[in-house]
Amino acid sequence: MSQTVGFIGLGIMGRPMAKNLLKAGYQLVVHSRSRPPVDDVVSAGAKAASNPREVAAACDVLITMLPNSPDVELVALGKNGIIDGAKSGSTLVDMSTISPIVSKKVGEALRPKGVKMLDAPVSGGEQGAINAALSIMVGGDKAVFDAVLPIFQAMGKTITHLGPLGSGGFTKLANQIIVAVNLTALAEALTLAKKAGLDRDLTLTALAGGLAGSKCLEQKRSNYIAETYKPGFKIDLHYKDLGLIMESARELGVPLPATAVVQELFSALRVKGQGGLDHSGVITLLEALAGLRE
């Protein structure tokens, strides 16, 4: 591949996504706040840059995979940011889950520099990122989407253009409602089953074979059986997404009663100092309420 891709944000999701781009043959320039993941991706064939401006200056397509809206704003528009180094005709693809309003703001700020933008949040968790099997939800100009599609195909399997800039973000927020409520329903069901003395492995097998089966059950099964909740996607990050969801719902006039309850459960976990658990770890709170753990 002659095209150079930049990648900023090498966290739990970003690092395997970047490595899949290298496997697909793209030249890659990377930057992240923490040095160890940069060194890891550089050892796989990437080049390192010292700040977002340097990444932007070196590439045709730049991907950001960052925790929250302020992080994207800072990297894109702050000192030594993308806006200072990006070439006219280049494209920023923000794959973070952030406010769609912020996505539009960043896109507007970059437009006078001749920089195009797509918002393209993902779903599929750490395993989906590792396996290049992510669902990628894209908003922005269709012609820009078509040009970037081969890069998306190196990281995901289900790639959908949903409309103008911001459409990807709104779709991801809808996705996060389903995931959060599903994980909470699983937590309630498995807590009930445990209190009734059922074998968890057998219970999960039975549930997976019927209408209750889901991607959440499939991907988090090993967590539930081992009763360990090492983060593939942290409660802290999903709580952030739930905040974005409720904010958007208020603006659009959409009541989300089930989501509001789940947001409070995630909030309680964070108060208990458990925000670093995987989001399937919401079960630990429900088990504690049922007297099954402290």
pLDDT tens for 166-199 read 999 999 999 999 999 999 999 999 999 999 999 9
Give the separation between CA 227 and CA 111, rounded to whole angstroms: 48
Q: How many CA atoms lie within 13 A of 141 on its CB side?
A: 11
Find the mean pLDDT for residues 97-107. Answer: 96
Instruction: Domain 170-289: give its CATH architecture.
Output: Orthogonal Bundle (1.10)
Long-range pairs of 282-290 with CB within 8 A, sequence gap ≥ 24? 282/183, 282/184, 282/187, 282/235, 283/186, 283/187, 283/190, 283/191, 283/224, 283/229, 284/229, 285/187, 286/184, 286/187, 286/188, 286/191, 287/191, 287/194, 290/191, 290/194, 290/195
pLDDT tens for 127-154 read 999 999 999 999 999 999 999 999 999 9
> For position 1, what pLDDT does the model report?
52
pLDDT tens for 71-84 read 999 999 999 999 99
Structure-token pair, residue 3: 């095209």
> For position 3, what pLDDT does the model report?
86
Q: Does residue 204 have a pLDDT over 90?
A: yes
pLDDT tens for 244-266 read 999 999 999 999 999 999 999 99
Query: Residue 2 — very low, low, confident or very high, per pLDDT cuts 50/70/90?
Result: low
Which residue out of 19, 172, 220, 240 is catalytically annotated?
172
Give the separation between CA 222 and CA 229, rounded to whole angstroms: 9
Question: What is the distance between the terminal CA atoms of the chain, rounded to a whole angstrom?
Answer: 54
Full-model pTM: 0.92
> Is 234 known to be catalytic?
no
**Lowest model confidence (mean pLDDT) among 1-5, 208-212, 235-239, 290-294:** 1-5
> For position 294, what pLDDT does the model report?
84
Within its chain, how far is the Cα of 15 from the centroid?
12
Contacts for 4 with CB less than 8 Å, ≥ 6 apart? 26, 27, 28, 29, 58, 59, 60, 61
Q: Percent of the chain having pLDDT more than 70?
A: 99
Give the separation between CA 103 and CA 72, rounded to whole angstroms: 9
Q: Where are the alpha helices (DSSP H) in 154-199?
A: 167-195
Name the average pLDDT for the chain.
97
Written out in words, the top-level CATH class of the domain with range 4-164 is: alpha beta
Residue ranges of domains in the chain: 4-164, 170-289
